[in-house]
Structure 1
Amino acid sequence: MTQEMNRPAPVAPEAGAARETLEDYTLRFAPRSYRRWSPGVVGVTALGGIAYLADFAIGANIGIAYGTTNALWGIAVFALVVIATGLPLAYYAARYNLDLDLITRGSGFGYYGSILTNVIFATFTFIFFALEGSIMAQGLQLGLGVPLWAGYAVSTVIIFPLVVYGMSLLSTLQVWTTPLWLVLMVLPFGYLLVAHPDSVSTFLAYQGEDGLGAPSLGSVMLAAGVCLSLIAQIAEQIDYLRFMPPKTPENARRWWAATLLAGPGWVLFGAAKQVVGLFLAVYLIAHVADGATVANEPVHQFLSIYSDLMPGWLAITLAVVLVVISQIKINVTNAYSGSLAWTNSFTRITGTYPGRLVFLGVNLVIALVLMEANMFDFLNTILGFYANMGIAWIVVVATDIVVNKYLLGISPKVPEFRRGMLYAVNPVGFGSVVLAGGLSIAAFFGLLGEALAPFSPLVAIVLGVVLPPVIALATQGRYYLRRTDDGIDLPMFDEHGNPSDAVLGCHVCGQDLERPDMTACTAHDAHVCSLCLSTDRAQEHVLPAQA
């Protein structure tokens, strides 16, 4: 398996930027010739990205604020929403080998309209990079005495070299670090259940720091809103799922298992970690002196339990090791996915491809600024606010796939992402996100009445489900496709419905690329690839609108 992952990908001898693009197909369809990993390897790699400790902090924070009962119901709401929206998105990514931005373009947003959602996603990556970096800095301060400001810098700089080589290195990193991470994470929880069974009843009875955690729908939705800030995690899962091999009768069972587990299935692990994070926090508050002051910090949660099991020097060593491994596993994904999102948007807006590494640096700098501003102290507010736009985006795209594509038949079932084939902006998705996200943010800040403020996530969900079919019916679906014919006679799919692996040459860059990435260039009686179309500022190679 390791030899398979480390085998060099077929890369044309092009200039540096072109080689980097081909290495992970940053802005385009991931071709069959590059997707050499098995479903199992892709699934494990994708799940490696959910090793973050932020879930422990989130679970602790919402439990301390709203009590155990409300927090558990909030986590359940979060899990149900993520599964319902993540399933269609994961399927489309694995089936058609596209990242979520490319799926979003043809699912109601248009070629330029999806830039809005790219910005939403890029924001997600640097917020959670900063959150995980803060947790790592806390661990370095506790274990090695490193000042927080220096820990923030270390947790940022260490990620850059690991992300340079994209999927080739990330797959190996995630596979080899996962077993140790699982042991270190599960050990404290299992120990408490066996050695302190009374901790379960203490946990279930916990009413929050103010003792006001009686069951309340408003508190449940506030807790769910904080958790739902993670809804955009499906986009990071998809950045790996797009490398799934073709689905065939021989591998169908393994293909579906990997797609479901690494797609919407990530939330089962995320929800479990949030519950454990709250469980450990309650234990610290009830049994450890000054535990309430650090109960929401994962490094202290694990250190306290490890200290009951082993000598102090070993306990603190393992706590720091767990924090560092977890931070690296998730932040290579945050940095990688963020660099893709920024690069994609910049290239479409300017027609210039600066290279993914430029925006890798940009994303890391933004995250470092957030860490130095001590964002950890305002976690609930930051995540609760951000969740509204994240929910709006994911729910709108999922609704377009399920309702507009399959139930109403208005949106084309096959995803389209190529310039010239799409309108610049489609009001179905773009308008829905602006309205759903805008109104839910207004509700969050109490502008629609204080009574509605706790339910801002519900506003985003309801509008995200209702608006896409309403706008699609009102516009009769006319803004989905600018063209239905890309000018190439070869079929787009093989006999199993997988994207074709037929190879065509791009007359602009000279590269040989697979059929789904190409369109005809009638101006030169040749073929042109999607990246060259993206950088065609004169629109010389873009197909005209179809009558």
Structure 2
Amino acid sequence: MTPPTKTAAASGQPGADPTAEHPLENPATPPSEKTTGAEDFSLRFAPRSYRTWTPAVVATSALGGIAYLADFSIGATIGVQNGTGNAIGGILIAAVLIFISSFPLAYYAARYNLDLDLITRGAGFGYLGSILTNLIFVSFTFILFATEGAIMAQGLKVGLGIPLWAGYAISSLMIIPLVIYGMKFLAKLHSWTNPIWLIMMFVPLLFLLIKDPSTVSTFLSYGGKDNSGVSFAAMMLAAGVCLSLTAQIAENIDYLRFMPPRTEANKRSWWTAVIMGGPGWVVLGAIKQIIGAFLAVYIISVLGQGEKAAVEPVNQFLSVFRDLVPGWLAMVLAVVLVVVSQIKINVTNAYCGSLAWTNIYSRSVKRYPGRVVFVVLNVGISLALMEFNMFEVLGFVLSFYSNLAIAWIFTVAADITFNKYLLGLSPKQPEFRRGMLHNYNPVGLVSLLASGGISIAMFFGVFGEAMAPFSPLFAAIIAVVVTPVMAIATKGRHYLRRTNDGIDVPMYDEHGNPADHRLECAITGEQVERPDMIASAKPGPNGEKQYVSSLALTLDRSGEHVLPEHKGD
């Protein structure tokens, strides 16, 4: 879907000139942000002039990114290992925890039009401290990319006889040209493919249930490898694998940041889209995991195939399609489903991973090589993981990684919920600009290191084998407790370096949305919306006040434009 042309109504101020009362701006100059090609505001606030999609389109695009088949493999793996009762219990526990932690993050992204890195900076980590969380997130994108690429390679091998090593290369390299053009292309891709994907995934399953209802009782009675019965420890082992997907909300947020302003006229559709496209992803994810467990049990108990075939999504759907259509067509449909799913999720993985790498690199060396460079880097790392056969140890990798993902997401969620809204120790409005934040904030960093470090030690049995299954739960608990405790201990001193950005133009409009008034950047000469601007410490040629955009300031190697520390403005 091509975004419509921006109108006055789209700004939330019908019929009004939003710049008329602000002489600091130059309303005659049109905005200069690039809205074609690869421009996607990867290091900055998403301006209103670019956010012209409806809430429904944004939510659909966000949900389109969770079309991955890894959920089926995850559900199958934990179902085979722990039995149906433990698998379903673990899936539901993980879903509840993910929904709770994702909600405040999704709201902040949609309300203030920032990605999760920009939110994380002001939610306890600091301007440079969030580089650590970017590394956690970028790891998620290439682990999931490698998982989905391996699944596609399995499909190409089964359907076309292509060797796995070649399938890995094909599934990786085909993504690069698709992801270069950013959000606009991804919105179109998901809009076109979502109906096809949903039909191919659910129709064969419904046919199987109607044809052979006894498969449900077989599934519910399945006890797993050891048939050891239902236990909370086994549920938590299963939940640990599912909780590795906690970081999925960061990918959804890369879409939700393009939500239009919330007004009285659209607030119902706005909230619906935020919930569906944000924490609501986990509802569909949990359903897919349960289906994966169901198909694995069907393949093992009814069709008599082995466990290896039962956990591979291509074999799962091939088995179901064979009950519905002739064998040759079943093979075609299974391969098409795998390819469509892999493309849908891996364009998102490559896109979001490139944003994270760009953030890391640009703040570290103050250069901006362009996002495309990091698309290639992320795909390259993913391809290496595939060639090293990461899929064979997927359960271990995801269980280990879940501790870090939970530590990060729950720390940010706790900072928003407790430190911002309940304690008032963290600034309620998010801040991400260089000069406004301290480089490092011990609140988030200590919480992340304590939560991640202790839970990983627990995962490896340092506190006894009986405690190992509960490492994800303790990661969440530690993050939720330590985050407000650190804010109280430090009295919130390490959040803001300044309390005034030096600009007299209001940051928000009458609805509380980021304003779309524009100011000229002294470094680039472009017209940039108010929330993405800050006053420069360097006056103009005639002593006048100058302004710089957040991206220009990020790349300012001299530091001459960075405002001095001052909390009493």
Structure 2 gap ranges (5+): 7-29, 540-544
Helix, strand or coil at the partner of 1:500: coil
Match of 1:197 in 2: 213
Q: Determine the C-alpha separation between the residues in 1 that align with 2:526 and 2:135.
A: 30
TM-superposed deviation, 1:217:
1.3
TM-superposed deviation, 1:19:
7.7
Q: Determine the C-alpha separation between the residues in 2 that align with 1:263 and 1:459.
A: 24
Q: Determine the C-alpha separation between the residues in 1 that align with 2:417 and 2:499.
A: 21
User: Under a length normalisation based on structure 2, what TM-score does the superposition of the two structures give?
Assistant: 0.93
- Decide which of 33, 40, 43 is 2:56's aligned counterpart: 40
TM-superposed deviation, 1:426:
0.4
Give a deviation string over 1:130-170, Cα, whole Å, max 9, x none: 00000000000000000000000000001000110001100
Helix, strand or coil at the partner of 1:513: strand
Residue pair 1:86, 1:234 contacting (<8 A) in 2 also: yes
TM-superposed deviation, 1:291:
4.0
Match of 2:10 in 1: none
Q: How many residues align?
A: 539
- Decide which of 86, 95, 102 is 1:79's aligned counterpart: 95
TM-superposed deviation, 1:455:
0.7
Match of 1:528 in 2: 548
Residue pair 1:5, 1:171 contacting (<8 A) in 2 also: no
TM-superposed deviation, 1:393:
0.3
TM-superposed deviation, 1:192:
1.9
Q: Determine the C-alpha separation between the residues in 2 that align with 1:293 and 1:75.
A: 21
* CA distance 1:3–1:359, change in 2 (3 Å): closer
TM-superposed deviation, 1:171:
0.3
Residue pair 1:56, 1:278 contacting (<8 A) in 2 also: yes
Structure 1 segments, 4+ long, off by >6 Å, are: 18-21
Answering whether residue 525 of structure 2 is matched by residue 510 of structure 1, we say yes
Residue pair 1:494, 1:500 contacting (<8 A) in 2 also: yes
Helix, strand or coil at the partner of 1:161: helix
Q: Determine the C-alpha separation between the residues in 1 that align with 2:484 and 2:192.
A: 44
Answering whether residue 319 of structure 2 is matched by residue 304 of structure 1, we say yes
Structure 1 counterpart of 2:404, one-letter code: M
Structure 2 counterpart of 1:29, one-letter code: F
Give a deviation string over 1:174-202, Cα, whole Å, max 9, x none: 00000010000002221121111100111
TM-superposed deviation, 1:458:
1.2
- Decide which of 291, 310, 327 is 1:276's aligned counterpart: 291
Match of 1:400 in 2: 415
Q: Determine the C-alpha separation between the residues in 2 that align with 1:317 and 1:20.
A: 34
Q: Determine the C-alpha separation between the residues in 2 that align with 1:399 and 1:320.
A: 42
TM-superposed deviation, 1:5:
6.4
Q: Determine the C-alpha separation between the residues in 2 that align with 1:306 and 1:33.
A: 46
Match of 2:401 in 1: 386
Structure 1 counterpart of 2:132, one-letter code: L
Q: Determine the C-alpha separation between the residues in 2 that align with 1:4 and 1:67.
A: 47
Answering whether residue 183 of structure 2 is matched by residue 184 of structure 1, we say no
Structure 1 counterpart of 2:3, one-letter code: E
Helix, strand or coil at the partner of 2:506: coil
TM-superposed deviation, 1:537:
1.7
Give a deviation string over 1:42-73, Cα, whole Å, max 9, x none: 01011000110000000000011111101111
Q: Determine the C-alpha separation between the residues in 1 that align with 2:306 and 2:455.
A: 35
Structure 2 counterpart of 1:485, one-letter code: N
Q: Determine the C-alpha separation between the residues in 2 that align with 1:156 and 1:266.
A: 25
Helix, strand or coil at the partner of 2:323: helix
Helix, strand or coil at the partner of 2:535: strand
Match of 2:384 in 1: 369
- Decide which of 124, 128, 137 is 2:153's aligned counterpart: 137
Residue pair 1:11, 1:19 contacting (<8 A) in 2 also: no
Residue pair 1:13, 1:19 contacting (<8 A) in 2 also: no
Answering whether residue 144 of structure 2 is matched by residue 128 of structure 1, we say yes
Residue pair 2:435, 2:564 contacting (<8 A) in 1 also: yes
Structure (1/2) with the larger helix percentage: 1
Using the TM superposition, name which of 185-194 and 94-103 deviates more.
Answer: 185-194
Helix, strand or coil at the partner of 2:47: coil
Q: Determine the C-alpha separation between the residues in 2 that align with 1:492 and 1:346.
A: 28
Match of 1:334 in 2: 349
Q: Determine the C-alpha separation between the residues in 2 that align with 1:37 and 1:471.
A: 39
Residue pair 2:33, 2:527 contacting (<8 A) in 1 also: no
Residue pair 2:71, 2:289 contacting (<8 A) in 1 also: yes
Q: Determine the C-alpha separation between the residues in 1 that align with 2:444 and 2:399.
A: 23
**% same residue:** 60
Give a deviation string over 1:252-298, Cα, whole Å, max 9, x none: 00000000000000000000000000001100001224243300001
Residue pair 2:141, 2:353 contacting (<8 A) in 1 also: yes
Q: Determine the C-alpha separation between the residues in 2 that align with 1:102 and 1:409.
A: 20
Residue pair 1:20, 1:356 contacting (<8 A) in 2 also: no
Q: Determine the C-alpha separation between the residues in 2 that align with 1:369 and 1:97.
A: 34
Q: Determine the C-alpha separation between the residues in 1 that align with 2:353 and 2:511.
A: 33
Structure 1 counterpart of 2:51, one-letter code: R
TM-superposed deviation, 1:6:
10
Give a deviation string over 1:287-338, Cα, whole Å, max 9, x none: 2242433000010000011111111111000000000000000000000000
Structure 2 counterpart of 1:118, one-letter code: N
Match of 2:301 in 1: 286
Answering whether residue 206 of structure 2 is matched by residue 165 of structure 1, we say no
Match of 2:16 in 1: none
